[in-house]
């Protein structure tokens, strides 16, 4: 591993500290290294509207930065937003070399930041640890390009592909390490989505239960507005932001939910069910850059059939439930031929105690399927 890669990986760890606090901005880390190889400043984008990573790094640096190297996981911005351009302070501080992980797809930047630095006589190296830097900001890249959330389909299943026993019992398929990872993701991503069937069956909280974590927006897809007013999600809506997407037209039917603090969005589709396409546009307009779809099997099918799934996180436990009546993670009609399968790239494997998590990204260039 090169020295540049080592410092960039350090910057990446800093960037991840912004998870749950910076969306819909990107998570960015920055490290300033003197010519003798000593780190003299570091920082990350800590919260939406706050200083960018580069400016935080300079704010925590008391040494002379003339000729130093700046490592930053994302191309420095060159435009005014909630804060001044980062390229300005990099030039002002007389940095001699800038090493960049990902290029910024934001049209306001998109190579212009690197160009300005080079025009100022600063050496710029791009693409260091690019894949790792890109992965950290997949939701941001998707959101800035499509103006709608990056969608992660998540489920836990047994070795024989069951998400519950024949009686419907599902707690717990995976162990504590896997469940902790789920809460880390609820902190990282902006929303979590379930169908009304999951609300009725499990009465979930859908909160982030890790210290210092941020609760995601809780989204219920409920075409006929049959969610119980006594459900945990409705009872806690005054404290944790909650949205119900429905086809229900009656203001009288919606009123008790609104009174409980629930945001109700009427998004009817032509088939009498919630229009998922319209839901994603609605969330995007509200700045929701990412969403985990956690259940159930019918909702998973709706997202897959529409081609809306960008990533799958499949948690697999070394257990077998068996049973013809035990459900799998995806319902719906399904495809009639293997060639029509929803395609994803080769999965990455994450070991979580005795369980594993397979992460696969949508392969929209593959033949067959809508995804």
pLDDT at residue 298 in the model: 93
**Rounded to whole angstroms, how far apart are CA atoms 142 and 73?**
17
Residue 367 pLDDT level (bands cut at 50, 70, 90)? very low
352 contacts 178 by C-beta, under 8 angstroms: yes
Pull the structure tokens for residue 70.
Answer: 């700046």
**The pLDDT of residue 169:** 87
pLDDT score of 354: 96
- 3-139: CATH topology is Cytidine Deaminase; domain 2 (3.40.140)
The share of the chain scoring above pLDDT 90, in percent, equals 82
**Residues facing 74 on adjacent strands:** 102
Q: Provide the edge-to-edge strand list for the sheet that holds 290-295.
A: 263-266, 242-246, 217-221, 191-195, 290-295, 150-158, 311-317, 355-361, 348-352
Percent of the chain residues past pLDDT 70, beyond the cut: 97
Mean pLDDT confidence for 111-128 = 93
pLDDT at 79: 75
Q: Examine the pLDDT at 368 and tell me if it is beyond 70.
A: no
* pLDDT tens for each residue of 66-80: 999 999 999 999 877
* pTM for the structure as a whole: 0.89
Residue range 138-144: mean pLDDT, rounded: 94
pLDDT tens for 204-252 read 999 999 988 999 999 999 999 999 999 999 999 999 999 999 999 999 9
113 neighbors 102 (Cβ within 8 angstroms):
no
Give 72-128 as a DSSP string.
EEEPPP-S-SSS--HHHHHHHTT--EEEEEE----TTTTTHHHHHHHHTT-EEE--T
131: CB partners within 8 A, 6+ apart: none
**Residue 371 pLDDT > 80:** no
Q: What is the pLDDT of residue 366?
A: 44
Range(s) of the chain covered by CATH 3.40.430.10: 148-361
Where in the sequence numbering do the catalytic residues fall?
Answer: 54
Residues of the chain with CATH 3.40.140.10: 3-139
CB 22 within 8 A of CB 48: yes
pLDDT in tens, 324-345: 889 999 998 888 899 999 999 9
pLDDT at 140 (0 to 100): 93
> What is the token pair recorded at 280?
């994603």
Which H/E stretch holds residue 292? strand 290-295
Q: What is the pLDDT of residue 369?
A: 37
- Do 229 and 63 meet the contact criterion of CB atoms below 8 Å apart? no
How many angstroms separate the CA atoms of 276 and 284, rounded?
Answer: 12
Of the candidate ranges 153-167, 262-276, 332-346, the one whose mean pLDDT is the lowest: 332-346
Residue 8 pLDDT > 90, yes or no?
yes
User: Residue 190's pLDDT is what?
Assistant: 96
CATH superfamily membership of 148-361: Dihydrofolate Reductase, subunit A (3.40.430.10)
Residue 252 backbone dihedrals phi, psi, to 5 degrees = -65, -40
Q: If pLDDT is split at 50, 70 and 90, which confidence band does 146 have?
A: very high
pLDDT digits (tens, 9 = 90+) for 80-91: 767 788 999 999
Go through 226-242 and write b for each residue having 16 or more CB atoms within 10 A of its CB, e for each that does not. Answer: ebeeebbbbebbeebeb
**pLDDT at 364 (0 to 100):** 66
Which 3 state secondary structure label does DSSP give 45?
coil
DSSP string, 222-277: -TT----TTSHHHHTTTTS-EEEEE----HHHHHHHHHTT-EEEE-B-TTSSB-HH
């Amino acid at each position: 591993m090169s020295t540049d890669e080592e410092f960039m990986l350090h910057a990446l760890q800093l960037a991840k500290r912004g998870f749950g606090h910076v969306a819909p901005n990107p998570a960015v880390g920055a490290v300033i290294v003197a010519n003798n190889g000593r780190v003299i400043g570091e920082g990350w984008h800590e919260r939406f509207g706050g200083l960018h990573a580069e400016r935080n790094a300079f704010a925590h640096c008391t040494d002379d930065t003339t000729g130093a190297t700046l490592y930053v996981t994302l191309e420095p911005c060159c435009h005014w937003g909630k804060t001044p351009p980062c390229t300005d302070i990099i030039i002002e501080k007389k940095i001699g070399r800038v090493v960049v992980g990902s290029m910024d797809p934001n049209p306001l930047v998109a190579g212009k930041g690197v160009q300005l630095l080079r025009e100022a006589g600063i050496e710029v190296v791009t693409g260091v640890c690019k894949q790792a830097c890109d992965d950290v900001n997949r939701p941001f890249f998707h959101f800035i390009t499509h103006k709608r959330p990056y969608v992660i389909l998540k489920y836990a299943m047994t070795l024989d592909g069951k998400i519950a026993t024949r009686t419907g019992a599902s707690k717990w398929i995976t162990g504590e390490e896997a469940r902790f990872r789920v809460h880390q993701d609820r902190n990282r991503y902006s929303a979590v989505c379930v169908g009304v069937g999951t609300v009725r069956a499990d009465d979930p909280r859908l909160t982030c239960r890790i210290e210092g974590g941020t609760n995601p927006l809780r989204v219920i897809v409920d075409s006929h507005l049959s969610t119980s007013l006594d459900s945990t999600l409705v009872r806690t809506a005054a404290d944790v932001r909650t949205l119900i997407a429905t086809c229900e037209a009656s203001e009288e039917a919606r009123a008790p939910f609104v009174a409980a603090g629930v945001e109700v969005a009427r998004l009817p589709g032509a088939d009498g069910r919630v229009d998922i396409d319209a839901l994603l546009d609605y969330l995007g307009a509200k700045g929701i850059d990412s969403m985990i779809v956690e259940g159930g099997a019918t909702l998973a099918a709706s997202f897959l059939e529409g081609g809306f799934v960008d990533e799958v996180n499949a948690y697999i436990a070394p257990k077998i439930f068996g049973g013809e009546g035990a459900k799998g993670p995806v319902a719906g009609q399904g495809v009639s031929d293997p060639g029509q399968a929803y395609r994803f790239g080769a999965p990455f494997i994450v070991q979580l105690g005795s369980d594993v998590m397979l992460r696969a990204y949508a392969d929209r260039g593959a033949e067959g399927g809508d995804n």
